[in-house]
Chain A
Amino acid sequence: MTDPIDTRPNLPLGLAECGFSGVIQHLAAGDAGSALSADELECRLIELGFVEGARVTVLHEGIVGRDPIAVRVENVTIAVRRREAMAIIVA
């Protein structure tokens, strides 16, 4: 599979459709509007494996507001709300 990094614009994972697959470009914890401080949110995301270069796929979404989403990060599945996923910039 050819990597679409160069051709696709950056997108916050929080806006990704179910079925989206891409690679994490960077984390922007300050812009997410989460209840957590930027540093704390960034730490938690990294602890769950959301680091630059990791491949992510949106597998499932909830019924209310298509939220939360289940994201495959490499070979782990993480449930996260779209609000926090806004901090994960993918392409």
Chain B
Amino acid sequence: MEAPLMHLALVGTPNSGKTSLFNALTGSRQKVANYPGVTVERKEGSFVTPSGRQLSLVDLPGTYSLRGRSPDEEITRDIVLGRTPGEALPDLVLCVADSTNLRLTIRLLLELKRTGRPLMLVLNMFDIATRRGVTVDVPLLSETLGIPVVTSIAVRKGGTAELLRRTDEILAAKAPQPVQPNLWQPLTVAQLRATQREADRIIAASISLPTRPDTWTARIDAVVLHPVAGLAILALILFVMFQAVFAWATPLMELLATTFGALGDLVQDTLPAGLVQSFLQNGVISGVGSVLVFLPQIVIIFLFILLLEDFGYMARAAFLMDRIMGGAGLHGRAFIPLLSSFACAIPGIMATRVIDNRRDRLTTILIAPLMTCSARIPVYTLIISAFIPAQQVWGLVNLQGLVMFGLYVAGIASALGVSSLIKFFMWRDYTPAPFMLELPDYKMPRPRSIAIGVYTRARMFLQRAGTTIFSMMVLIWFLASFPQPPDGATGPAINYSLAAMIGKALEPLLAPLGFNWQIAVALIPGMAAREVAVAALGTVYAIEGGKEAAEQIGAVLATKWSLATALSLLAWFIFAPQCASTLAVIRRETGSWTWMWVTFGYMFALAYAASFATYNIAMALGAG
């Protein structure tokens, strides 16, 4: 007989190493979804203990207490208390602590004890604590707290062996134990203070303070948090990040492009000419292929973000940017959501949940789509490589990389500008919410954890490419192929299609921006996801110009567009009304259609104005 599935929950303060422990226990057997009704990420995984017990593990959002002052923290509280419908009451709660820093976790643990749930304290990162000279009297700590305590080193192979063994023991012995009642009530200030005092007493009795403080963190911070050097380093990191996105990804991207080109040729050679061949080659392969090609860049940008996060730099960046962003009406904590928006506005907007003041959060949500998301990279890359010469500037900087950097800067500058306007016009009477953030000690990034993180995000991107984008590509192919040209027609077939009709209908509106009808056709599906615009251009020009065009979209564009048009399109995409999924997330996160339309409207206006200005200035300078 199979034992029933047991449920475990991971609870801990932010920076306790909860996620690396979760990764160590579950590996890639993770499912990421949302809790119903709220946009809090639900991470669940499964693993098997040495005795063969099948366990499900949920990684609850990090919190310092059970007060539940943000939607994330409410999820943690409600699951631990068994108040969430559809979620199992955990059979065992694992409270994860950074062993070098137990003060805040022991306080949380004392609060958790009142819930009556079976509890175990996991002293994670125990190796680092030992190295610093921290000694923990584990049996005494366990006795004082009245719960099992284990040590673990999530990042080392076998470092969770003791945790697994004890989990087995507890779950095996659990059945006969009487169920403890839930005595938890929200703590008053006095109770909170008393709990922290008690935690400090317990720590004094069973844990020695580090004899070797973390000199590395102090040394690094002396430079990294220096008012001037720190900002220079931050700018350098961002610059290297965007150069890397451009330079490192190129060989892989070329490989992918060649592969898809070969696949297209194979289809052309093996299938008879006709609709099926056209559908497979021009719709499916060149469409999905031209999106998949950007996977290396997305992987690189997430690699950087996850490395910086794991290293402990993200909180420092928020510290450095707090007042600078404060000048633009933004909260220091907005830095992380905004930086995540460089990868994709959707996780960025969802990450605004770390900002607990509604107005600060709303401002951040409104400007997050102005950050250059990775979906714009395909468009930027395509146009830049077609129109901007790859020459070296000042001996070491690539001009193409420099233009790319400029586009990012334009996005950031406009975001700060819009935020200032929001602050000035809408919320003049409002004092900013407090910025309070733990600056964790630096830690060597854990390759396995990073790999799992990058893998999860790459998989999400591929799923999008496989579903939304694929269906959009089929639709575009359909629009571009039907109706078929009449017999004896001259000129490319696409000129007779539905797509051309739509594009031509929009052309007068977009002509002042220097956009032709092919661009208009591409911008419509670009609403589904920005990167689709590239695939759409590929399809439009491939169907128009035959197989060679699909392989060389960039070269074709260089012959068909003026430089002014290309620059105008770049300007358009800095502000481009964002993809349908972003709009859907804004609607969900703000709980209002109004804010979604406000975002759409202001971005459309900015995009139109910027393109109009760019096109006309470029024409005046002779770039037509």
A contacts, CB < 8 Å to B? 33-36, 39-49, 51-53, 59-65, 67-68, 70, 74-81, 83-84
CB of B434 within 8 A of CB of A76, answer no
Contacts of B210 in A (CB 8 A): 75
CB of B438 within 8 A of CB of A48, answer yes
CB of A81 within 8 A of CB of B322, answer yes
B191 to chain A: closest CB distance in Å? 10
Known A-B contacts A76-B101, A79-B315; A63 and B434 likewise in contact (beta carbons under 8 Å):
no
- Which residue of chain B has its CB nearest to the CB of A87? B434
Residue of A44, A76, A81 touching B103 (CB-CB under 8 A)? A76
Residue of A34, A63, A79, A84 touching B228 (CB-CB under 8 A)? A63
Q: Is B302 an interface residue (CB 8 A)?
A: no
CB of A35 within 8 A of CB of B357, answer yes
The segment from B47-55, B86-94, B193-201, B499-507 that touches chain A is: B193-201
Residue of B221, B226, B322 touching A68 (CB-CB under 8 A)? B322
CA of A60 to CA of B230, assembled, Å:
11
CB of B319 within 8 A of CB of A63, answer no
Contacts of B107 in A (CB 8 A): 47
CA of A80 to CA of B323, assembled, Å:
11
Known A-B contacts A80-B434, A81-B322, A84-B434; A39 and B189 likewise in contact (beta carbons under 8 Å):
yes
CB of B436 within 8 A of CB of A44, answer yes
Number of interface residues of B (CB under 8 A): 50
A/B interface sample: 24 pairs, CB < 8 A:
A34-B431, A35-B432, A40-B69, A44-B436, A47-B107, A49-B103, A51-B196, A53-B200, A59-B218, A61-B227, A62-B227, A62-B323, A64-B324, A68-B323, A70-B221, A75-B103, A75-B210, A77-B438, A79-B315, A79-B322, A79-B436, A80-B437, A81-B434, A84-B434
CA of A2 to CA of B173, assembled, Å:
52
Residue of B67, B193, B217, B318 touching A51 (CB-CB under 8 A)? B193
Residue of A36, A49, A60, A79 touching B196 (CB-CB under 8 A)? A49
Q: Is B585 an interface residue (CB 8 A)?
A: no
Contacts of A61 in B (CB 8 A): 227
CA of A60 to CA of B228, assembled, Å:
12
B365 to chain A: closest CB distance in Å? 19
- Which residue of chain B has its CB nearest to the CB of A42? B189
Known A-B contacts A49-B103, A51-B196, A75-B100; A62 and B436 likewise in contact (beta carbons under 8 Å):
no
Q: Is B225 an interface residue (CB 8 A)?
A: yes
Contacts of A36 in B (CB 8 A): 433-434
Known A-B contacts A62-B227, A62-B320, A75-B210; A68 and B103 likewise in contact (beta carbons under 8 Å):
no
Contacts of A60 in B (CB 8 A): 221, 225-226, 319
- Which residue of chain A has its CB nearest to the CB of B64? A47
Contacts of B435 in A (CB 8 A): 68, 79-81, 84
CA of A18 to CA of B221, assembled, Å:
14
CB of A46 within 8 A of CB of B332, answer no
CB of A47 within 8 A of CB of B104, answer yes
- Which residue of chain B has its CB nearest to the CB of A62? B323
Instruction: For chain B, residues 193 to 216, give those with C-beta under 8 angstroms from any C-beta of chain A.
Output: 193, 196-197, 200, 209-210, 213
A58 to chain B: closest CB distance in Å? 12
Instruction: For chain B, residues 414 to 447, give those with C-beta under 8 angstroms from any C-beta of chain A.
Output: 430-441
CB of B327 within 8 A of CB of A78, answer no
Known A-B contacts A43-B189, A46-B189, A59-B221; A79 and B319 likewise in contact (beta carbons under 8 Å):
yes
Q: Is B124 an interface residue (CB 8 A)?
A: no
Q: Is B81 an interface residue (CB 8 A)?
A: no
CB of B439 within 8 A of CB of A77, answer yes
B319 to chain A: closest CB distance in Å? 5
Render B308-331 as a binary contact track against A, CB cut-off 8 A, 1 for contact.
000000010011101110110000
CA of A61 to CA of B357, assembled, Å:
24
Supply 5 further A-B pairs (C-beta < 8 A) apart from A59-B218, A77-B440. A62-B320, A67-B322, A75-B213, A79-B318, A84-B435
CA of A32 to CA of B189, assembled, Å:
17
- Which residue of chain A has its CB nearest to the CB of B217? A77
Contacts of A62 in B (CB 8 A): 227, 319-320, 322-323
- Which residue of chain B has its CB nearest to the CB of A36? B434
- Which residue of chain A has its CB nearest to the CB of B63? A47
Q: Is B231 an interface residue (CB 8 A)?
A: yes
CB of B439 within 8 A of CB of A78, answer yes
Known A-B contacts A64-B327, A81-B435; A46 and B319 likewise in contact (beta carbons under 8 Å):
no
CB of B323 within 8 A of CB of A48, answer no
B63 to chain A: closest CB distance in Å? 9
- Which residue of chain B has its CB nearest to the CB of A64? B323
CA of A67 to CA of B259, assembled, Å:
53
CB of B64 within 8 A of CB of A48, answer yes
Top-6 shortest CB links A-B? A63-B227, A64-B323, A47-B64, A60-B225, A77-B439, A35-B431
Among A41, A74, A77, residue most surrounded by chain B Cβ atoms (within 10 Å): A77
Contacts of B69 in A (CB 8 A): 40
Contacts of B315 in A (CB 8 A): 79
B259 to chain A: closest CB distance in Å? 47
- Which residue of chain B has its CB nearest to the CB of A75? B101
Contacts of A81 in B (CB 8 A): 322, 434-436
Q: Is B192 an interface residue (CB 8 A)?
A: yes
Contacts of B193 in A (CB 8 A): 46, 51-52
CB of B67 within 8 A of CB of A34, answer no
Contacts of A48 in B (CB 8 A): 64, 104, 436, 438
